[in-house]
Amino acid sequence: MSASRPILVTGVSGFAGWHLARALARHAPVVGTYHTRPIEVAGVTTLAIDLAESAVTGALIRSLAPRAVVHAAALTDPNDCERRPEAATRANEIATANLVVALDALAPDAPLVYFSTDLVYPGDRAFSRETDPTGPLMHYGRTKLAGERHVAARRGVWTVLRCALLYGPPAPFKSGATGWMRERIQRGEPLTLFTDEYRTPVHVDDVIAAVERCVDGAPGAANRILNLGGGERLTRFTMGEAVARALGRPTDCLVPARLADSTFPAPRPADVSMDTRALAALLGRRLLSFQDGASRRSDPLP
């Protein structure tokens, strides 16, 4: 395999893609794609592409012959996906299917790392395992699960990463799961957070470490589904408390509320916390605690 073949990262104008492209570019040539929001990323060649156009995706894979693909592009706002189901199916399922077809035809030796979501689980239990039944409550989750099935049916090597709430230093267009909490708490503004919605938030540094292993074809990553979450089951409210502690600010601006009393266009599962022992085994270490992650300094944007 030629060392000069690039790693392709899709969705580099997004939160995960931006962090991943920057990190992978420290060790390898990286090409990153965006769709509507042009972006420059240090050390990365960026291109505009609509991955839902099969001919365009095929031409991209033919011209790059990537040595690995990290597919982080998606329509990610569940409420937007519920309101615009065809757009969500196009961006999340059809784009993924296009990538799989193009890779199997043109770069079959390139591992494909697909970002799925904890929202493929129905939310009826704590610490879902990778082998537990799926059953997404909303269209976003259904399109991501459909993407998983295309990926797992490919001939070449694949990994599905079921990603939890992502947090870490802000990216240019998105600040991650804790960004808005930090801003409100720093300004002392009321911040309403659910006390009955459970997640296993994951710091972007653990995400980068996992993806690096997948791209390198680590045995614990090939042809499997992995829960990509942190080690702790937290409510939004307890996350807010940890962010306030990290900032050295009082918690009196936090306002408790109940998901059970709320309505959103996209139904939200109560508990999509995940069992992340397989991820910790892949990394060979403990996952970052939420308190430590929330206390990590944000590196400045280039």
Which residues lie near ligand NAP (CB under 6 A)? 10-11, 13-17, 33-37, 49-52, 72-76, 91, 95, 115, 117, 144, 163, 165-166, 174, 177
Q: How far is the CB of 165 from ligand NAP (least distance, A)?
A: 5
Residue 127: phi, psi to the nearest 5?
55, 55
Which CB atom, from 249 or from 267, has the smaller least distance to ligand NAP? 267
Count of other CB atoms within 10 angstroms of residue 23: 18
The nearer residue to ligand NAP, 99 or 244, going by C-beta atoms, is: 99
Q: CA nearest 237: which of 223, 251, 221, 216?
A: 251
Residues for the chain: how many in total? 302
Shorter beta-carbon distance to ligand NAP: residue 224 or 249: 224
To the nearest 10°, report the CA torsion of 33, 216, 92, 280. Answer: -130
Smaller CB separation from ligand NAP, 119 or 261? 119
Give the residue at shortest CB distance from ligand NAP: 14
Residue with Cβ nearer ligand NAP (151 or 244): 151
Phi, psi of 74 (to 5 degrees): -175, 165
Q: Smallest distance from the beta carbon of 2 to ligand NAP, in angstroms?
A: 26
Instruction: Output the smallest distance, CB 199 to ligand NAP, in A.
Output: 9
How far is residue 103's CA from residue 112's CA, in Å, rounded to a whole number? Answer: 8
Q: 209-220 b/e with 16+ CB inside 10 Å = b?
A: bbbbbbbeebeb
